[in-house]
């Protein structure tokens, strides 16, 4: 019976000296008893593929189909801010009703205020903390853009500003523009610095 502690000690020593405790790395893959659907053929965005004749893994929309949220029921300038000659439209196709302005203010607070500041002075939190130079909406430059150009800036971005075409649907963008125009109408013009 006196041998038992010794044996136990040996067993522990063997485990600690030779075995791999937690946190030990191994070049071998872990044993995966039930792989379920963990391993499946998949492709990355923009990747090549031998499977399709054109070599692209990503597929083009099927002609005649409309993706969800992509149905265009308004005239083309509503989605581009440009007329049929490619010029920016002067006046927004969306009237500044109370409802539109309220929605514009809401969207502005979420998506524009961090940089452009609540009143559109350009001295938002990003300017305060990050020193990001943001132009004022009361300067000549911002006032004198046709509505279509502001739509283009909000959609695609400009200089340091990224585009907001993805989070903001066209109707949201026109609502934000209505709000910006209302702010501009309420404050005096500033010379562009
Ligand atoms: C992350 C910061 C940031 C956010 C958020 C942002 N902007 Fe801007 N915006 C800028 C900067 C910086 C510029 C100056 C770009 C340049 O000319 O290099 C700018 C420029 C503009 C201009 C042109 C002004 C001029 O005088 O040329 C308009 C119009 C504008 N933004 C509208 C918006 C609207 C509307 C939103 C919300 C949907 C928005 N921006 C959100 C940073 C931002």
Please say if the pLDDT value at position 184 is more than 80: yes
pLDDT given at position 68: 86
- Contact between residue 117 and residue 181 where contact means Cβ atoms under 8 Å apart: no
- Compare 41 and 140 and report the one with higher pLDDT: 140
Nearest to 116 by CA among 105, 106, 107, 125: 125
pLDDT for residue 12 is more than 80? no
Cβ–Cβ under 8 Å, residues 146 and 86: no
110-166 pLDDT per residue, tens: 999 999 999 999 999 999 998 889 999 999 999 999 999 999 999 999 999 999 999
- Residue range 70-99: average pLDDT? 95
Pocket test for ligand 1, best of 105, 116, 147, 171 (most atoms within 8 A of CB): 116
Chain segment 154-180, per-residue pLDDT in tens: 999 999 999 999 999 999 999 999 999
Contact 148, 77 (CB under 8 A): yes
On the question of pLDDT at 4 being above 90, the answer is no
The confidence score (pLDDT) of residue 41 equals 82
User: 116: CA distance to ligand 1 center in Å?
Assistant: 7
Confidence (pLDDT) at 21 = 56
Return the CATH fold of 88-186.
Cytochrome Bc1 Complex; Chain D, domain 2 (1.10.760)
Pick from 158, 163, 183 the residue to mutate for probing ligand 1's pocket: most ligand atoms within 8 Å of its CB. 158
How close is the Cα of 158 to the center of ligand 1, in Å? 7
Domain limits, the chain: 88-186
Query: Ligand 1: which residue has its CA nearest to atom 8?
Result: 161
């Amino acid at each position: 019976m006196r041998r038992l502690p010794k044996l136990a000690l040996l067993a522990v020593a063997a485990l600690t000296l030779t075995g791999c405790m937690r946190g030990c790395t191994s070049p071998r893959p872990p044993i995966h008893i039930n792989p379920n659907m963990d391993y499946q053929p998949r492709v990355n965005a923009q990747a090549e593929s031998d499977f399709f004749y054109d070599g692209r893994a990503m597929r083009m929309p099927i002609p005649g189909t409309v993706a969800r949220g992509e149905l265009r029921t308004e005239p083309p300038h509503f989605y581009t801010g440009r007329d049929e000659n490619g010029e920016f439209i002067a006046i927004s196709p969306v009237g500044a009703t109370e409802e539109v302005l309220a929605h514009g203010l809401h969207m502005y607070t979420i998506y524009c205020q961090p940089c452009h500041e609540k009143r559109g002075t350009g001295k938002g939190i990003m300017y305060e903390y990050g020193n990001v130079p943001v132009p004022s909406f009361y300067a000549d430059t911002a006032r004198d853009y046709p509505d279509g150009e502001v739509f283009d800036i909000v959609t695609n971005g400009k200089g340091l500003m990224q585009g907001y075409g993805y989070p903001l649907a066209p109707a949201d963008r026109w609502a934000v523009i209505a709000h910006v125009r209302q702010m501009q109408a309420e404050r005096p013009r500033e010379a562009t610095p």
